Structures are given as C-alpha cells and as structure tokens.
Amino acid sequence: MAKVEYIDYEAFSLPALPYPVYYKRKSFDHEREPRLAILDSHTGSSLGGVLVNVDFERLMQRVYVSPTAPKWQNKS
C-alpha cells in the first residue's frame, strides 16, 4: 500500500508509470487516502484489474458528493 501524494498538476510533471496511480489533485488532500496498486513485477505496469473481496462497511465511513455535482448525484 502506498501513500497518495496530492500535487498541483499545473506545476508538476508526472513521472512514468506506475507512479501516477499514487498522485491526486491537491484539492483532494483532505481525503488522505491510501491506495493499493498491483503491478507486474517485471514491467512495473498495472495488471489491469484484480478482483478483491472487501467489506465496504468497514472501509467507508462516509460518501461526500461535490456541491457542484448535478442534482441527480445528490439524491439522499
């Protein structure tokens, strides 16, 4: 698991893969999210997708919807 770095995309050039999976826009730095990326040990590239069983009730505390999101996304 890697810590996500929150950066200003205008002022920072992203390095080659796999590193972009560890970056998010600075405006999301309040999230402090961990990310898990499963990469090919020979190429360092993403394996595309791996099914992982998780307990969302344990992982998620809240879901926030952007105040600028369309009304259909803001339904309770």
Is residue 45 within 8 A of residue 39, CB to CB? The reply is: yes
Q: How confident is the model at residue 75 (pLDDT cuts 50, 70, 90)?
A: low
Where along the chain do its domains lie?
A: 1-76
Distance CA 23, CA 8 (A): 10
Return the H-helix or E-strand segment holding 2. Answer: strand 2-3
- The pLDDT assigned to 71 comes to 82
Read off the tokens for 24. Answer: 């998010």
- The pLDDT assigned to 45 comes to 65
Helices (H), 1-76: 56-59
Is residue 38 within 8 A of residue 20, CB to CB? The reply is: no
* pLDDT tens for each residue of 7-30: 887 887 766 655 566 778 888 888
Q: In this structure, are strands 2-3 and 34-35 parallel, antiparallel, or unpaired?
A: antiparallel
